[in-house]
Chain A
């Protein structure tokens, strides 16, 4: 499968714990995006990278959230001191200029904070 992959697909954690998600974009896609989606809502932008540079961060990305893309390939999203309000689907997408920057989404990581 050459699409965007995310790991884990599901995560259950207790409030206050730290969690980390991984995203592997489509090969050679130099832009990578993170979104969050809660029930009944559309996805909301969190942050995006062009290669290893984090170019934009949403106001939704509180101090407890940090994203990295150290080598310009895979990315990690870490949430520290999780809260129940962090429960959501975390979606990763990637894009390429030659494809008009069309964003292709991964299957998401569903987080439940108890």
Chain B
């Protein structure tokens, strides 16, 4: 089983739509959670961290459910510029040191006019 699993999509939505992505992780020792955005042939860029209490940044809302081991990202009022691949990322901490990022395969979003 993959450590981080995402629906690869693509999600094709019209401008203005609300779209949600889910991600599941297998390691219950996962400590930190993020969503990264990656444009075609570009590097990943941090979109937002994900906290247990949930957090919002403008049109983006991230949620974490530790009991079910899943993370979600909600995008409201989609813009054409939101078209990208969204990568779910976890960090498993061990030995008191910062672990490396474990990425999902990504979910592709395409926002159409």
Q: A interface vs B, CB < 8 Å?
A: 31, 33, 35, 40-45, 48, 55-56, 58, 91, 93, 95, 100-108, 110
Asked if residues A101 and B98 are in contact (CB atoms below 8 Å), the reply is yes
Using CB atoms, name the residue of chain B closest to A55: B97
Asked if residues A107 and B97 are in contact (CB atoms below 8 Å), the reply is no
In the bound complex, residues from chain A placing their C-beta under 8 Å from that of B89 are: 42
B21 within 8 A of A: no
Q: Interface segment, B11-19, B43-51, B53-61, B62-70?
A: B43-51
Q: B interface vs A, CB < 8 Å?
A: 4, 8, 41-46, 49, 87, 89, 97-98, 100-106
Asked if residues B44 and A43 are in contact (CB atoms below 8 Å), the reply is yes
Asked if residues A105 and B98 are in contact (CB atoms below 8 Å), the reply is no
In the bound complex, residues from chain A placing their C-beta under 8 Å from that of B41 are: 110
In the bound complex, residues from chain A placing their C-beta under 8 Å from that of B97 are: 55
Give min CB distance, A18 to chain B, whole Å: 25
